A and B are shown apart, each in its own frame.
Chain A
Amino acid sequence: MPNTSRHSDPSGVNDGPAAGAAAGTSHHGAVAVDPPLAAAAATDVVGLGRARAFAFVAPALLLIGVFLLFPALWTLYIGATDYERTGPKHVSPSFVGVGNYTDVLADPSFYNSLWLSLLFVGFSAVIGQNGLGFALAWSLRNVAGWVRRTVETLVLFAWILPGSVVAFLWIAMLDRDGGTVNALLGTPGLAWFVDYPMASLIIFNIWRGTAFSLMLYGAALSSVPPSQLETARLAGASGLQTLRDVVFPHIRGHALTNTLLITLWTFNDFTPFLLTAGGPGDDSEIVSVYVYNTAIRDGRLGYSGAISLLILVANVVLALLYLRMLRKRSVS
């Protein structure tokens, strides 16, 4: 599935002007309109009609149905079989019911990957990207234009470059012998991805993903009325007090939105595979890499189907929370 973390946040179900414009459209003089169609014609200026409108939507729905909806539903079935990539269980898999789920929930390597994913999401996204993104947005808002543009451009480059490229850049930078980091820190021979795989991945992901938080908080901070900041300054409030009492109430919704989105994306991110492939051993085998390793490398499709379904459920919970937030905010 494409990396949806790049999409410029469609920010919710937005009825926009469609409903408003519907009222003002004119009649179609000579066209005879059947009574049941009259209501539709009030909005349907082109005379598309329901049937043809459906035909227009059909190609997109077909692709979405086959390659997005069906795989999601099929996971349910796959997870209930002992399907494998090769061998006899590939030809005639049998139905094992909830067997895979009980196996997964009793498997220490599943809990290992879940724990590593929690560390990865918690430290790199919720704390790292959130914190650094906000700190940068806050401190850069009054800074000279070129300083701000330079920092923003650098942060954005980390975000827009292809995953394969940034993965290799980090492998080069953290290389045991010639890497820049070892040269700077005076720690020759330190193999970061072997000795500190999770810490390296976390720092990498902060570098990689802060751009989104920076942009979101940048936009959010511009919604804080300058007069209130001025009042706080005149009242002698310290920086922290201003943040807590003036800024935070305005951006609380944005902060929650941002945290939910980057949590969802980081939890599903596959780029760590390019850096460590889960190793050494299973020391950095976060959930996304664990699914790949059990499904494609080891060929245990049924078993990994069960894990996929658990991931889907976690994603649904996060996405529903996010959508609820959006709706609450557009109502208030």
Chain B
Amino acid sequence: MTISDDDARRAAWRMAARIGFYALTCLIAVFFALPLLWLVTAPFDASPTYAVDVPEATLDNFAEINANPYAWGSMFNSIVLSIGTALFVVVGAALAAYALSRVRMPGRDALLYVLLLLSSVVTGTAAMVPLFLLVSEIGDSVHPALGIDSSFAVMLVMAGGLLPAGIFMLKDFVDTVPRSYEESARVFGASPLRILKDIVAPLIAPGLATIAVWTVVNVWGNFLVPFILLRDPGKQPAAVLMRTLYTESGQPNLALLSTFSLLYSLPVIAMYLYVSRKYGFRFHGGIKS
């Protein structure tokens, strides 16, 4: 049997399409990889420039971090802000999600609906003016520890913004916990708070971990809220300090900046790898069609 011209032409055409397709895929991969290259090479380069090149390997740049008076402090501030906010969000969302799941309060669904709407509508852009004013006012008239330059105020502001979505996510987890455990615990006279802490919380641990990680990643990368509310460089988190490092010094110190970027990104990358290994970083049927 001979292969007709037509078939041959079609095969060649398919081959060309395949090559073109892979070339395009490569091009897109390069587009996404290109900006990331510098983050990987410059920190280990003995004399980093803006150009990406094979580094003359060194770890000296990491010493630059020690030399900068604010670098480690800002990293520490980021940790404090992230963990503090995560505590508020996890505790607040757990209490609220539990009560909303177990007690049918009038207007519960409407409340959840409005909260979802609020949290997606009142963004940093829309709320920066009132938030700046609100925190200044609280600082002036209530207590300076809650005003501008207060890390505590930043935590509260960010927790307020993240709680609605946190409650949503957690309520799904609480809803799946069978009520029989709680009933038997109640027979033995455990208080509701105790039941939540000792029986429900361990059962929804994956949910609690999810919103904790989600909060930490959000706060860790957030620039606008601490940028507006924290003026003292000693209190600013890494997100805000980064900008200071490249805008306010005449000649940016690239060894410091690149190394700092890498260190500051590592926790996010680590969490991503952890989450994607454990759960797979995809939408699993979470989307209704």
- A interface residues, Cβ below 8 angstroms from B: 1-4, 6-18, 21-22, 25-26, 28, 40, 43-50, 52-54, 56-57, 59-61, 63-64, 66-72, 74-75, 78, 83, 132, 136, 139-140, 143, 147, 150-151, 154-158, 160-173, 175, 177-181, 183, 207, 215-216, 218-220, 223, 250, 253-254, 257, 264, 267-271, 274, 287-288, 291-292, 295-296, 301, 304-305, 308, 311-312, 315-316, 319-320, 322-323, 326, 329-330
Contacts and interface: CB of A to CB of B under 8 A. Distances in A.
B76 interface: no
A173 B38 contact: yes
Interface in B192-226: 192, 195, 214, 217-225
Give the interface residue-count category, chain B: 35 or more
Contact of B126 (A49, A72, A150, A271): A72
B122 A71 contact: yes
A56 B105 CA distance: 12
Contacts of B257: 168
B161 A151 contact: no
A323 to B, nearest CB: 7
Interface stretch (B1-9, B54-62, B167-175): B167-175
Interface of B is mostly: helix
Interface string B245-289: 010000000000100010011001100100000000111111111
Interface of B: 21, 25, 28-29, 31-39, 42, 49-52, 88, 91-93, 95-96, 98-105, 109, 112-113, 115-134, 156-165, 167-169, 171-172, 175-176, 179, 182-183, 186, 192, 195, 214, 217-225, 228, 238-240, 242-243, 246, 257, 261, 264-265, 268-269, 272, 281-289
20 contacts: A43-B102, A45-B102, A48-B99, A52-B192, A63-B159, A72-B118, A78-B130, A78-B133, A151-B29, A158-B35, A161-B265, A162-B242, A162-B265, A164-B223, A219-B282, A254-B287, A268-B125, A269-B125, A322-B120, A323-B117
A68 B161 contact: yes
Given A154-B29, A220-B289, A270-B223, A64 B118 contact: yes
A8 B32 contact: no
Contact of A46 (B161, B165, B182, B264): B182
Contacts of B117: 316, 319-320, 323
A257 B289 CA distance: 11
B96 A56 contact: yes
A156 B32 CA distance: 9
Contact of B282 (A171, A179, A218, A329): A218
Contact of A21 (B122, B169, B179): B179
B116 A48 contact: no
A304 B133 CA distance: 12
A230 to B, nearest CB: 18
B263 to A, nearest CB: 10
A154 B265 contact: no
A98 to B, nearest CB: 17
A205 B246 CA distance: 21
A56 B95 contact: yes
A16 B103 contact: no
**A-B interface, 8 closest residue pairs, ranked by CB to CB distance from nearest:** A67-B160, A178-B50, A56-B99, A71-B130, A162-B221, A53-B103, A164-B242, A175-B50
Contact of B28 (A1, A53, A68, A136): A136
A288 B246 CA distance: 22
Given A10-B168, A54-B99, A288 B195 contact: no
Contacts of A151: 25, 28-29, 32
Most B-side CB within 10 Å, residue of A40, A53, A143, A288: A53
Contacts of B38: 169, 172-173, 180
Given A45-B186, A154-B32, A6 B125 contact: no
B122 A47 contact: no
A161 B116 CA distance: 25
A291 to B, nearest CB: 6
A122 to B, nearest CB: 18
A284 to B, nearest CB: 15
B116 A10 contact: yes
A57 B100 contact: yes
B266 to A, nearest CB: 10
Contact of B272 (A69, A156, A274): A156
Of listed A45, A48, A64, A296, residue having the most chain B CB within 10 A: A64
